[in-house]
Amino acid sequence: MKSEIVKIGKVKIGGGLPVVIQSMTDTPTSDINATVKQCIELYDAGAEIVRMTVNDEASAKAIPEIKKILKKKGYENIALVGDFHFNGHILLNKYPLLAKTLDKYRINPANEKSFEEFVRIAIENDKPVRIGLNKGSFDGDIVKAILKYVEKAEKIGLKKNKIVLSLKSSDAVDFISDHERLISEMKKNRKIYALHVGLTEAGTGTQGIVSSSVATGILLKKGIGDTIRVSITPSKNDSRTKEVEVCKNILQTLNLRTFTPKITSCPGCGRTNKKYFLAMVEKINDHIKKYKKTKNLHVAIMGCIVNGPGECKKADIAIMLPGHQEKQTAQVYIKGKLTKSLNGKNMLKEFFEILDKELKIR
Ligand code: SF4
């Protein structure tokens, strides 16, 4: 059973369509220039849906202007979502242009004073709503509660193809089991809604990336989730776009979407010259990054004869570097066939020439 397709501006989600990436700005929305700049950065990095806080009158007034500038700059395809808490119905009522401009409204009904009024405004403006509960602001059975809110929204008149659900938790195990329960309840009721999945408040660095990847990865592998966000706290020097990069990697790892060439490389070990091997892998990775539009390509970079031939044969283009005790010759494989042996100082240059030639053919 699939959900209905939900249209969020020019972006479509649900109904078995590819999983869409979303992100959220961290600029004050009232700072129009900074918010426009970040929306563009997030979109260029791969986020098709961008959410912004709408927490006060200044941000409510800023949204139409942000949309206008984005359109002028050629970014009219970004689906813009307003994130409302506590005063959503007041702002949407007071600023009709805000209600009209946004492509979707996001509401946490546990934090909204008038859920009914909020839903009515969405219906009047023909906008989809993400109804999301977060364990950080909700005590009790989150699955039962969200289904009650959906029932309420449908009674007011919100159509199934205007509803997206999300269940947020910062605990990966809870997050997975809540979603499994939600899916089984929806199946029991024979009503499947589009789902946004994302572990919330996942933390910083490796911990945030790993917990988000495991939690969303398990669900996505089971076909649960139509949009994804990774909510990591960026480190001081991180760009906001890092969370988008993580989303892309999760989707590509699961073969759900392809964004960049797939690179298989071994970790190296005592059989390799660490310094030489790691430098080679880095240079090849950097070289491949030049081919932004070449997605469906598999490159392997292996460090010796142990697992090298097997992995190289599975790739489109591969290089197997020599281990310490092997003949100092690198083997190049093209489409699974050992095609050329390279050695000497120009080994890498020659491999890049082969790579460039192959990539241009594609
Ligand atoms: S392929 Fe060779 S170099 Fe790479 S990790 Fe395996 S044994 Fe070590």
pLDDT at 216: 97
Question: What pLDDT was estimated at residue 185?
Answer: 96
Question: What is the CA(272)–ligand 1 centre distance, in A?
Answer: 7
Write the residue with the smallest CA distance to atom 7 of ligand 1: 306
Beta strands in 256-344 (DSSP E): 262-265, 298-302, 317-320, 330-334, 337-342
Average pLDDT, the chain: 93
What does the pLDDT average to over 32-39?
98
Ligand 1 site, residue 53, Cβ cutoff 6 A: no
Average pLDDT over residues 273-289: 88
Q: Residue 164 has what pLDDT?
A: 98
pLDDT score of 275: 84
Is the domain spanning 262-361 CATH 3.40.30.10? The answer is: no
Output the pLDDT for position 361: 55
Per-domain boundaries in the chain? 6-253, 262-361
pLDDT at 10 > cutoff 70: yes
Please, are residues 250 and 228 in contact by the beta-carbon 8 Å criterion? yes
Task: Identify the pLDDT of residue 178.
Answer: 95
For the stretch 51-81, pLDDT in tens is 999 999 999 999 999 999 999 999 999 999 9
User: Residue 15 — very low, low, confident or very high, per pLDDT cuts 50/70/90?
Assistant: very high
Report DSSP state, residue 162.
G
Q: What is the DSSP letter of 322?
A: P
303 Cα nearest atom in ligand 1:
3
Options 3.20.20.20, 1.10.760.10, 3.20.20.60, 3.40.50.300; CATH of 6-253:
3.20.20.20
Q: How far apart are CA 244 and CA 271, in angstroms?
A: 36
Question: From the centroid of its chain, how far is CA 167?
Answer: 17
Question: Over 70: is that where the pLDDT of 362 sits?
Answer: no
Query: Which residue among 266, 276, 301, 326 is best mutated to probe the pocket of ligand 1, counting the most ligand atoms within 8 A of its Cβ?
Result: 266
308 lines ligand 1 (CB under 6 A): yes
Q: How far is the CA of 88 from the centre of ligand 1 (A)?
A: 56
Which atom from ligand 1 is nearest to the alpha carbon of 304?
A: 2
Stretch 235-257: mean pLDDT, rounded? 93
- pLDDT in the model for residue 237: 82
Spatial contact of 86 and 117, defined as CB atoms under 8 Å apart: no
Q: Which sign, positive or negative, has the C-alpha torsion 103, 106, 112, 118?
A: positive
Residue 311's CB is within 10 A of a number of other CB atoms, namely 18
Q: How far apart are CA 262 and CA 253, in angstroms?
A: 9
pLDDT exceeds 90 at position 117: yes
Q: Whose CA is nearest to atom 3 of ligand 1?
A: 303
For residue 93 and ligand 1, the question of a CB distance below 6 A is answered with no
SS (H, E, C) 212-278: HHHHHHHHHHCCCCCEECCCCECCCCCCCCHHHHHHHHHHHHCCCCCCCCEEEECCCCCCCCHHHHH
pLDDT in tens, 94-103: 999 999 999 9
Do the domains spanning 6-253 and 262-361 agree at the CATH topology level?
Answer: no
Indicate if ligand 1 lies below 6 Å from the C-beta of 300: no
Q: Provide, rounded to the nearest whole percent, the portion of the chain with pLDDT above 90.
A: 75
pLDDT digits (tens, 9 = 90+) for 157-191: 999 999 999 998 889 999 999 999 999 999 999 99
Query: How far, in Å, from the CA of 291 to the mean position of ligand 1?
Result: 27
Question: Quick one: which atom of ligand 1 is closest to the CA of 269?
Answer: 8
3-class SS of residue 22: strand
Q: How far apart are CA 195 and CA 123, in angstroms?
A: 19
Q: Does residue 88 register a pLDDT over 80?
A: yes
